[in-house]
Every structure is written in structure tokens, then in C-alpha cells.
Amino acid sequence: MAIRVLIVDDSGFFRRRLTEILNSDPQIEVVETAQDGKDAIDKARTCRPDVITMDIEMPVMNGIDATREIMKQRAVPIIMFSSLTYDGAKATLDALEAGATDFLPKRFDDISNDKAEARNILCSRVKALVSPSKLRPTSSSASAPASSRTSSAPAAPQRQPVAPRAASPSRRTSNKAFKPSDYDLVAIGTSTGGPVALQEVLTQLPASFPLPVLLVQHMPATFTEAFAARLNQQCKIEVREAKNGDSLKPGIALLAPGGKQMKLEKRAGRLLVRVEEETDPMQNYKPCVDVTFATVGSAVGNRMLGIILTGMGADGSVSCKALQARGASIWAQDEATSVIYGMPAAVAGIAEQILPMKEIGKKLATNT
């Protein structure tokens, strides 16, 4: 069976263009289009799509309100199309809080300068949000997951359901308490579903949390400042976008800037952040979990706790395996609460603990 998609946008040109792109993949079928949020609610009820693409700014009812109403009726993966501006970032974050699953730039050139690659990324993102059983086998599909050159479009997505499921057999918990004295810092990496997951984890930490926190979320450059500001308003600890030369301090979480790499170095006994431009044209992720985690390991050795949350692909797996071999602790979000179980699955085999999203922050807050 093909994946049934509902396209929602007030631009007739965009609806036609997106329909053409998605229908070019034999595993995807655009079954209906809607021109505003109210129209989308009605059509989502009647055609029951597997995935919805949603514009934010529309007449009659905007995409955020429409997303909220659709999710009340039935949980369905919704991909928001957003402008890559600060205001676009804030609106997108509002949409994610309302229940949207993922987001993409509204301009296809912002996804990739290569039209074929942009098409592959669009189709891959849609297919990543449904169960593998929904995808019909085909030898002619031209939409194999493509490497992304944007910070918000991870490569090699895993095709997993969005709705929570029964706990995976690989779920691993223990009664071992989190002891902050065993660590110098906590580092968290995530991608699709990460904004909501990070909010859930970080809002449970007390203002007196005794460790610094580094955050790596796959996100465009214009989004991370707005995301850090939002988290700072919601959390008891301080959260801000990392800047070059920042010193790590207890109770402060630094978010890697989009489009760049955040690295850590130890200088004269102090842990300092380096924010650098990415010079490797083959590096898919900007920021990259593996890049940050590897430098954290070099700076603090086994005195770090690395946590991998929901996300497409396997970013973080290489560094986490090396860190675990050196004695560092690795936790992973469980399959049941992950939007996409790609990144956590890639480290599940070496994770000390595999925990539901709501339990991670709670466990970190224990004994702090």
C-alpha cells in the first residue's frame, strides 16, 4: 500500500509542485489537498491520511491551530513547512508543541541546491514517519534516503511509527542511581522529535543541577537561537545558544548553533566551547552529535554521560561506541516514546540504560 498524504497550503502552485514531487515516488500517493487549516481538519477526518504536510501561515485558520485540532481527532504525523527566519522558527516550535512531528524549509532550495536530492529528502522524510509495513516493496523507487546537506534534514532515516507503541524488548532500566559526582558533564544528542523530547527532559532538572549540559539538536542556523530562548523560558536551569569561548558551568545548558559544529576543549583546567564552521563537504550534520561527543570524550574521558534521544539516522553512534569503550556512560530513549527510533536504536546495544522520554529527566534530577 502507498502512503496516503494530505497536502495543506494556501498556494495552489505549491500544492501542485509538492503533489508532483511526492507522487513521483511509487510508495507515496497524494490523496487530497486543502487550502487552509479549516479545510485541512475536514479533509483529514474524511480521507484519513497517513501523513499530512502543513503550511503555517494560511487564511481562515493557520497551520498551528489546524495541527492542534487534527491531533485531537487522531494522531497523525504532520510535517510543517516553514520559512528559515527567526519568526518562522518560533512559529515552527509552536507547531511542534501543538503536535507536529517534523519540519522542512518552505523553499526547496533551502533543502538542497540539487533538485533530485531535494526530491529524495522530501520523499524520505514522508516515508520515515510511517510503519515499514505500510511501504509496499518496489524495485523502481528512486527515493532511497538521501544524504542531506542541511542541518535539519538527517540522512538515512529509519521508518518507524510516530504513535507510541508497546515497549521494545530491548528496553533496559536499572535501579542504579544517577550520581552527579561521577561525571563532569551531560551531553545530549537528538534530531526528529528532539525539540519536544528536550523540553520534556530539561524541564525536570532543578535550578541547582550540579553539572553543565551540552545539547546537539539537528536544526537550521536560524532556529537554534529561538529554540534556546524558548527552553530557557520553560526550564529552571539556564539554556542558551553556545558561543565560541563559552566556559561550561553547572546548571547551564549550551545548545549547538545550527549550521556549525560545537566542540569542547580543556584548557588550563577549564572546559571551553569552540564553535566552528564545518569545512568537510561530506559532513551531513551541522551540528553533528558525533563531532561534539568525540571532543567531549577527548576533554573529559569517561567522566561524561551521553544521552541519545529520538531522531532519524545514526548520528552519535560512532562516538558513543568509542566513549562506552573508554568507560563513559550512555543512555538512550526507548523505542516506544521515540518519534523515530533511528539514533537511539543505533546505540541501544551499548547503552547502559534505555528509558522512556519522561523517565530520563526524572532520573537526572535524582540526587541533585
Domain CATH number, residue 121: 3.40.50.2300
pLDDT at 174: 61
- Mean pLDDT over residues 234-245, rounded? 98
Indicate if the pLDDT at residue 356 is higher than 90.
yes
Query: Is 271 within 8 Å of 185 (Cβ atoms)?
Result: yes
Which of 134, 166, 191 is the last residue in one of the domains?
134
Phi-psi region of 264 (alpha: psi -120 to 50; beta: other; left: phi over 0): beta
Integer CA distances (angstroms), 114 to 150, 174, 350, in order: 12, 47, 37
The 8-class DSSP code of residue 151 comes to T
Same-domain check for residues 121 and 188: no
Phi and psi (nearest 5°) for 103?
-145, 155
Same-domain check for residues 216 and 343: yes
The number of CA neighbours under 13 Å toward the Cβ of 262 is 31
pLDDT at 163: 39
Same-domain check for residues 353 and 281: yes
Same-domain check for residues 117 and 211: no
pLDDT at 85: 79
Cα distance between residue 361 and residue 197, in whole Å: 10
Same-domain check for residues 220 and 361: yes
Same-domain check for residues 206 and 340: yes
Same-domain check for residues 68 and 208: no
List the Cα angle 187/175/297 in 5-degree steps. Answer: 25
Residue 46 counted as domain residue: yes
Q: Is 218 a catalytic residue?
A: yes
**Catalytic one of 82, 148, 151, 191:** 191
pLDDT at 24: 96
pLDDT at 173: 63
Integer CA distances (angstroms), 299 to 186, 258, 273, 327, in order: 13, 22, 11, 14
**Catalytic one of 25, 184, 315, 334:** 315
The 8-class DSSP code of residue 129 comes to T
Which of 103, 134, 165 is the last residue in one of the domains?
134
Which residues are registered as beta bridge partners of 275? Answer: 262
- Mean pLDDT over residues 124-128, rounded? 92
Same-domain check for residues 202 and 70: no
Same-domain check for residues 191 and 298: yes
pLDDT at 273: 98
**Catalytic one of 218, 317, 329, 334:** 218
Residue 206 counted as domain residue: yes
The 8-class DSSP code of residue 76 comes to -
Cα distance between residue 292 and residue 205, in whole Å: 22
Cα distance between residue 123 and residue 72, in whole Å: 26
Query: Is 33 within 8 Å of 19 (Cβ atoms)?
Result: yes
Same-domain check for residues 130 and 207: no
Name the strand (E) or helix (H) holding 32: strand 28-34
pLDDT at 282: 83
Q: How many domains does the chain have?
A: 2
Q: Is 114 a catalytic residue?
A: no
Same-domain check for residues 184 and 130: no
Residue 159 counted as domain residue: no
pLDDT at 151: 39
Q: Which of 82, 32, 84, 85 is nearest to 62 (CA)?
A: 82
Q: Is 315 a catalytic residue?
A: yes
Q: pLDDT tens digit string along 169-184?
A: 455 666 678 999 999 9
Percentage of residues in the chain with pLDDT exceeding 90? 77
Same-domain check for residues 189 and 256: yes
79: containing domain: 3-134
Q: pLDDT tens digit string along 22-58?
A: 999 999 999 999 999 999 999 999 999 999 999 999 9
pTM of the model: 0.87
pLDDT at 139: 37
DSSP-based three-state secondary structure for 19:
helix
Q: Are strands 102-105 and 78-82 parallel, antiparallel or unpaired?
A: parallel
Residue 97 counted as domain residue: yes
| CATH code assigned at 243 | 3.40.50.180
Residue 244 counted as domain residue: yes
pLDDT at 113: 80
